[in-house]
Amino acid sequence: MELKSYEFRRERQRKWAELEALISRVDKSGLSSLTAKQLHDLPVLHHAVLSSLSVARSISLDRNLLDYLEGLAARSYFCLYGSREPIRSVFGAFVLHRFPAAVRALAGPVLVSALVTALGFATAFAMTAADPEWYYSFVSPEMASGRDPAASTSELRAVLYAGTHGANSAGLSRFAAFLFTHNARVGMMAFAFGFAAGLPTLWLLFTNGLVLGGFAALYHSRGLSVDLWGWLLPHGVTELLAVVLCGGAGLAIGGAVVFAERDSRLRALARVGRTAGVVVFGTIAMFFVAGLIEGIFRQRVTDITVRYVVVLATAAFWFVYLRYAGRRSEPRVQQALERAIKAAPTGGHATREATRP
């Protein structure tokens, strides 16, 4: 006669060791190091160990055995359910589908973000138009660098048509790289600050609008509006849109922190957060494009017609891309996801919530 739990262990432990060896191998050199047969065995052994664990819990009191099986089950869970998309396919899916879809999913907060920026703009514009002295409260001296109500109209005009940062390509590239990294950082910050109930994000968006409004009012008062927008918008379409998107992403997570309703707060936050993160990662590419346009194109091309062509082209591109890209594949992705969830033996409710795109 033998202890049942001992017999049970003797019969199964070879399978456990087999799984353990596979996992150690994956840990060391990745899933790609497994043969086709081993890849096929992995989920089979995983299920075998899970059922061993269930049985062990109901018949064995050997703490070491239970600990071992729990540890092994956890490790094979990590192995099977870790993020396994190859970087290249993530990138492709990201550009073609996930980024524009995530932006559409956050249309509400993005709209709020745009409105807050517009409100800042309108406020500063109206106040500066009524009394130019207000300009100094909206635009700091460093930012204005001489472009203030005291400057003459021709000086203000000259800034718009002079490449100020050296004409050689090295200097322009450095300027573009600086603009890109700096603006992308500001965008990410605007997003991350959303975590504090969205308030710092609102403030950042509003002050961003104020600066723009101040500038616009100053140039408007000298009859230079068309020239200013030709100078600002070729990169501004992309850059402002990216800032508004980052702000929208920040407001979305801020909203999830404050207005969690049915869902538990953390679950709602995670669902919104993953979508918002995709949006912010996409804007890094937008800031890159904006940096190139501002740092190089604007310094080289002073023809107002060409400038406005770029404005229209970028606006049309972003509109079409963000509104339509990946639309057709959305239902397909959704269906595939639902099939996968149905096929899974028992998907926890929480898991289902979290994977909704």
DSSP string of 46-109, one letter each residue: HHHHHHHHHHHHHH---HHHHHHHHHHHHHHHHHHHS----HHHHHHHIIIIIHHHHHHHTHHH
Q: Which is nearer to other proteins, 25 or 267 (CB)?
A: 267
Is residue 132 within 8 A of residue 147, CB to CB? The reply is no
Q: Could you say which residues in the range 120-149 bind other proteins, by CB under 8 A? A: 140
Identify which range of 111-119, 260-268, 308-316, 319-327 contacts other proteins by CB under 8 A.
260-268
Is 75 an interacting residue with respect to other proteins (CB under 8 A)? yes
Q: Which is nearer to other proteins, 65 or 210 (CB)?
A: 65
Q: Are 219 and 227 in contact (CB under 8 A)?
A: yes
- Rounded Cα gap, residues 30 and 85, in angstroms: 13
Pick one of 173, 207, 221, 329: the residue that binds other proteins (CB under 8 A): 173
Using the rule CB under 8 A, is 96 a contact of other proteins?
A: no
Question: What angle (nearest 5°) sits at the alpha carbon of residue 353, between those of residues 347 and 357?
Answer: 115
Q: Which positions from 217 through 236 interact with other proteins, judged by CB under 8 A?
A: none
334 binds other proteins (CB under 8 A): no
| Nearest of 148, 152, 159, 124 to residue 232 by alpha carbon | 159
Q: Is 345 in the site for other proteins (CB under 8 A)?
A: yes
64 near other proteins (CB under 8 A)? yes
| 282-301 binders of other proteins (CB under 8 A) | 284
Is 318:238 a contact under the CB 8 Å cutoff? yes
Confirm or reject binding of residue 243 to other proteins (CB under 8 A). Answer: no
79 sits near other proteins (criterion: CB under 8 A): yes
Interface of this chain with other proteins, residues 4 to 23, rule: CB under 8 A: 4-7, 9, 13, 16-17
Residues 193 to 212 in contact with other proteins, rule: CB under 8 A = 193, 195-196
The count of other CB atoms within 10 Å of the CB of residue 186 is 17
